[in-house]
Amino acid sequence: MPIERLRLRSLRGALLALGVLLAGAAGAAPPALLVGTAWYPEQWPQSRWPKDLELMQAAHLDVVRVGEFAWSTLEPREGDYDFSWLDRAIAEAARRHIYVVIGTPTAAPPAWLTSKYPDTLRVGEDGQRDEHGNRQQFSFSSPRYRELARRIAARLAERYGHNPDVIGWQIDNEIGPPSFDPETRRQFHAWLQRKYGNIANLNRHWTTAYWSETYDGFDQVPMHSKDENPGLLLDFRRFVSDTWTSYVENQVAAIRAHADPRQFITTNTTHWGDQYDQYVLSRDLDMAAWDEYVPDGHFVWPDQAVQQDLVRGYKNEDFWLMETQPAFVNWWSVNSPLPPHAMRELAWQAVGHGANAVLYWQWRSALNGQEQYHGTLLGPDGTPVPAYGVVREIAAEMARAAPAIAGTSPRSEVAMLQSYDSRWAIDFQRQQADFGVVKELDAFYAPLERYAQSVDVVSPDAPLTGYRLVVAPALNVLTAAEARHLADYVRAGGHLVLGPRSGMKDSYDALWPQRQPGPLARLLGGRVEQYYALDSSVPLAGVLGSGQASIWAEALSTRDPGTQALLRYGRSNGWLDGKPAIISRQVGKGSITYIGAWLDPALMQNVLDDFLRKAHVTPLVPGVSDDVEVCERVGAGKRVWILINHGDAAHTIRLPSPAAPVLSGDPAVRTAAVALAPHSIHVLEAPLP
């Protein structure tokens, strides 16, 4: 993030950081960089626990997450709590200098609860009510379930909220599926009424005169996630986001009422998941956290890097990697393992992009259950599997690097805007089956990351001061307020690049009447005359190079003498021939550009390189190969470079200034050149100039 925001961290965040340094495990302060695992002591005899913890200690693990699936053990009968086993597990971990994060157990309600209170069970969109025997089988809107969840969270916080060995809390686990039960429908109607005030406003914004969809009252509005009026679908997703947010806040409030402020509170999200708005959900959490998996075992570093930056952008702060895979998973079509070097590269990549902890899921194979075949660090016999040795090496390296990492965070001069509203809106109406918004975000991110080597992924309403270049791929839903925000950025000297399908819809998922890019069309001095889904590629050429467009193409026009056409379509389908594909306008010291086509990778790199140079963005470490990832963390008067060679060839990297090695070598001897063997990692520290 820019230096300005590094200096403007919240007071709570500062207190949290200070508090964690004062935490306990046998009186020691935890390191700034932690490695750990998910441990399920309730699944094993207590006589086994010391051996588990000794193996963790031997592997240099600092932290365990416990409890997130243990409701039936913590509360075997309603109101009958048994925390004695958890007391002992935490105490045994502390004796080995291992800290604890407690997960509230609400992802997996016990059988007594679902049997006694069947109204708490989730109902699918097909009307089928879930049964006991899985997880996430509860309704996120159920008042009764929320009360029971609040009660167990409060009891845990009363007991462990001031335990010096407990450093944080995770709310639930990978929340996601909504419910379609009658109570949720009632709450959806109430949500709509609060938003629109009266049914006439809803009818107007949703254009319900179309197909005679006009409603006489809010209780007539159906509740669906697909095949409906786009305005309804978008509002339903927003309602789901608000409902999950209030679900999480219910437990956050219960914990904060009893817990020491030094203990952080978070929840763990998943990949590019879009079942709810992560920015909204993260607002009242102390930090973001996520679970990173590469299910097919093929680690493509830009595809994973963008997700790290996405999670960092939820709060524009460092985060935790709460789960990642030890070699392989059990839920993909072919559960191929990550190679050992990829496990190491993935872990260091996470740290380079802002993770201050890397936890592996899970510690030991469960003897039964749906995830028997998932990768672990120990086998069912309780002895290490090969991944244990790899994690031990990673943890030992991170222990050496922790003092250098302390007090640092990534910073970027480039931002990419990511909007859940836009992702949802395009997914409702793709027009071209291959137009996946995540795929388009990846297509823009990879060349930005290769050139600038640090990119923030933030919401459209995030502060933009300090960014030299802001790129907004597929910003389909553009509110009037967001348009003003982006226009102010450009007029203040910023450089804005919009991607295909941007500025098409307003905040109600209705088409802007002035065509794309909607309220930014006047600033651009041009617009989209028509959009086309492509089933074959079309040629492009101009001052930015030549190449092909596929999937999507928009014919642009210029309406201001200062707006230039930078690329045009060649002969193809007649509709696009000779029309501008990229137009740009200088606005004072800033600029606004519209890219109207899905560009091939080489052309995309050329185009974005040109805009990066014009915005005076410079690489952190110039001249590196495309298979070398450069990460930089800055703070506390120092900069730390993490260099990761993801390729099979060796490279020599020339640093901008001499730096001291952190992982190996003599830290007193600085070097300006680093020899990177294939799939090797170097961490270097240098003072800020």
CA distance 402 to 396: 10
Letter for the amino acid at 626?
D
Active site residue 323: yes
Helix (H) or strand (E) run with residue 554 in it: strand 545-558
Catalytic site residue from 75, 292, 323, 632 = 323
125 is a catalytic site residue: no
- H/E stretch holding 470 reads strand 469-472
Query: Cβ neighbours of residue 270 under 8 Å, at least 6 residues apart?
Result: 174, 176, 290, 291
Phi, then psi, of 100 in degrees rounded to 5:
-130, 135
Counting Cα atoms < 13 Å in the Cβ hemisphere of 127 gives 0
> What's the CA gap between 139 and 226, in Å, rounded?
19
**Which residues have CB under 8 Å from 674's CB, separation 6+?**
643, 652, 653, 655, 682, 684
Contact (CB, 8 A) for 528 and 555 = yes
The β-bridge relationship of strands 628-635 and 638-645 is: antiparallel
- Catalytic one of 174, 183, 371, 529: 174
Contact of 37 with 377, CB cutoff 8 Å: yes
For residues 146 and 149, what is the distance between their CA atoms, to the nearest angstrom?
5
How far is the C-alpha of 191 from the C-alpha of 241, rounded, in Å? 12
531 bridge partner residues? 554
Facing residues of 498 across strands?
A: 472, 594
Peptide bond into 362 cis (omega under 30): yes
Where does residue 20 fall: left (phi above 0), alpha (psi -120 to 50 degrees), or beta otherwise? Answer: alpha
Token match 């300006």: residue? Answer: 672
Conformation bin of residue 244: beta by default, left when phi > 0, alpha when psi is -120 to 50: alpha
β-strands 590-595, 580-587 pairing: antiparallel
Sign of CA dihedral 512, 517, 523, 528: negative
Residues known to be catalytic? 174, 323
